[in-house]
Amino acid sequence: MSVQVVVGAQWGDEGKGKIVDVLSEKADVIARYQGGPNAGHTVVLEQDKFVLHLIPSGILRPAKVCIVGHGVVVDPEALLEEIAALENKNIKVKGNLFASKKAHLIMPYHKIIDQRSEQLRGNQMIGTTGRGIGPAYTDKVARLGIRLADLLDSNLFKEKLLVNLQEKNFLLKNFYGLPDLSFDTVYAQYMSYGERLKDYITDTDALMKEALGQGRSILIEGAQGTMLDVDHGTYPFVTSSSSSVGGVCTGLGIAPSRIDEVIGVAKAYTTRVGSGPFPTELTNDSGQKLRDRGNEYGATTGRPRRCGWFDAVVVRHAVWVNGIKKLAITKLDVLDQFDKIFICTGYRYKGEMFRDMPCETEVLEKLTPVYKELEGWRQNTAGLTSYEHLPLKAKNYLKRLSDEVEANISLISTGPQRTQTIFLKNDGIC
């Protein structure tokens, strides 16, 4: 038995979808512990591309048990659309996918409030996807949430919806200047969702307990990245859940002592979507080159990602917070055509040097990154599957990354396909 957790070590979009897909070959259960349909994991299988928002990437392998934990907020319409899209590509979902009864629902008013609140922030926009994730988590913590289990009890759902709509419609009308939501419309819509989802909704705590008791191999999948964690990220420009390893225990109901290994995923450079500090951001030709070569556009929104050099301070922070021992480095091939490559090894602010991540937004916005310059390899690494075949300068770059973030590199992705992966033996690069 083993329990592995895959977490993002940057601001999300690190390529976790592919890494989970690759590692799921040897797993029995693949579970998602937080986030909502604001996350997008892209997996490429030969000529097919799958973009998964709620369903764990393990669904693409036959006979795997896939769990959506109670730490996830679920938009039932989005979940049903995702199920249908997979089934249209002959991927078996029913019998393999299970969603926690305790997972909270994203309601129509959550989406409206999310979008309108962002508009009202003006220049202070956080950069949310507008899919209602933050307001859904707000209601969860305020003990006003409606859960998947409530879809199976029409009377209880009706009671909760009546109470919530009384408050939300007052807010929509008197604060946002928007029309009321119809109780009858929302009620009918969500009862329909419940009927269609009833075969997927179950006690996933019991499933996890059974799997652990049977000594089955479990792979746990995070959404977003450590720097978007509501506690450990660049607050307030973060997501509304615990995207670091701490969210695993609350989001799936397993004890920390059960976790055997945490694998961090980081790009060979850095990207960020939305607002907030980004110390190594490049707004010049190099930044555009990274975006074009890496196809850096959001899987969920299509928004162009901000791009910059690898930030070792960020990943070092993620290594510490998550207890990462092994790193998967993705998109190494994107750097193939650069003459010079830079690694941010620290920050300078008002004469002071930082090797650790400061939490103050003002510091993060005004600091100066300190770079180590390395020579580019100017050779093709796309599709390589052997470490020995990497150019020497690419090996030097990876070694420097490993040394700076104080974690071993055990896997290198050289392209989107499953086969375009280098597995390092023993302890990897360190």
DSSP string, 207-253: HHHHHHHTT--EEEE--S-GGG-TTTSSTTSS-SS--STHHHHHHH-
* C-alpha–C-alpha distance, residues 121 and 128, integer Å: 11
* C-alpha–C-alpha distance, residues 257 and 239, integer Å: 26
Q: Which residues of the chain fall below pLDDT 50?
A: none
The predicted structure's pLDDT at residue 200: 98
Residue pLDDT, tens place only, 353-388 = 999 999 888 888 899 999 999 999 999 999 999 999
Q: Which of 214, 228, 209 is nearest to 100 (CA)?
A: 209
Which member of 13, 21, 139, 150 is catalytic? 13
The predicted structure's pLDDT at residue 302: 76
The predicted structure's pLDDT at residue 300: 63
Peptide bond into 236 cis (omega under 30): yes
Which member of 21, 28, 41, 110 is catalytic? 41
Q: Are 191 and 157 in contact (CB under 8 A)?
A: yes
Judge whether 75 counts as a catalytic residue.
Answer: no
* Pairing between β-strand 48-52 and β-strand 3-8 as defined by DSSP bridges: unpaired
Structure-block tokens of residue 335: 């750097």
Instruction: Write down the pTM of the prediction.
Output: 0.93
Structure-block tokens of residue 315: 């990943």
Structure-block tokens of residue 246: 């701490």
Q: Which of 76, 70, 113 is nearest to 197 (CA)?
A: 76
Q: Are 213 and 238 in contact (CB under 8 A)?
A: no
* C-alpha–C-alpha distance, residues 346 and 311, integer Å: 8
The predicted structure's pLDDT at residue 288: 96
Judge whether 150 counts as a catalytic residue.
Answer: no
Q: Which of 129, 96, 381, 84 is nearest to 240 (CA)?
A: 129
* C-alpha–C-alpha distance, residues 391 and 386, integer Å: 11
Structure-block tokens of residue 363: 């510091």
Residue 367's CB is within 10 A of a number of other CB atoms, namely 20
The predicted structure's pLDDT at residue 46: 73
Q: Return the sign of the alpha-carbon dihedral for residues 348, 353, 354, 355.
A: positive
Q: For residue 252, how many C-alpha atoms fall within 13 Å in the half-sphere facing its CB?
A: 33
